[in-house]
Amino acid sequence: LALYRVGPFENLPVPEADAPAAKRRAHRPARVIAAAAALLVVLGLSGAYAGCYLSARSSAQSGDFVSAEKLLLIPQLTRLHDADLVRYVRAGSLMTGREYEKAEWAFAQLQDYMNAEALVSECRYRRALQCADRDAFDGAAEIMTALAADGYRDAGQKLKDIRFRSGAYLLLEQGD
């Protein structure tokens, strides 16, 4: 039998032995459409993931860790090719949540990733201010002294402020 019927023989009934082949040919367009649709879905999901990944990376670089965390749709997948980004965003979320000691440690583990080193100093700075706000002036002064020695931001002025507040606090206690 000929595989393709053309000409005056194309409308002839298909013999019984050729019936399964005819059914396969009849379903071929549906299979092609299903495969094309599946391919489009996979490509669409891949594109969406790539877009979210790049946006998350950009948000993390600019310090918007809340947005970066939301944009990491599938952190487990991101860990496969950029595990440091997931850790970096998590450390930034700790910093945003005012858990400066944990964030400092997490950023220190990342060393040269993006601007992790600078964020270690920023976490120390904020932790010193947080200590001062909790009237833990000795700890705050110790951290701020190290930062001032490195010339970090306005650490020298903040150290003076912390020492002044500590002295004023002691005077108030003695006045009671």
At 78 the pLDDT is: 86
Q: What is the mean pLDDT of residues 1-11?
A: 54
The neighbour count for residue 60, using CB atoms within 10 Å, is 24
117: CB partners within 8 A, 6+ apart:
107, 111
Name which of 79, 81, 75, 56 is nearest 66 in CA terms: 56
Q: Would you say residue 89 has pLDDT above 50?
A: yes
58 three-class SS: helix
Rounded distance between C-alpha atoms, residue 2 and residue 133, angstroms: 90
Is the pTM higher than 0.85?
Answer: no
CB 67 within 8 A of CB 59: yes
At 10 the pLDDT is: 58
- Extract the runs of DSSP E, i.e. beta strands, from 70-155: none
Name which residue leads in pLDDT, 152 or 25. 152
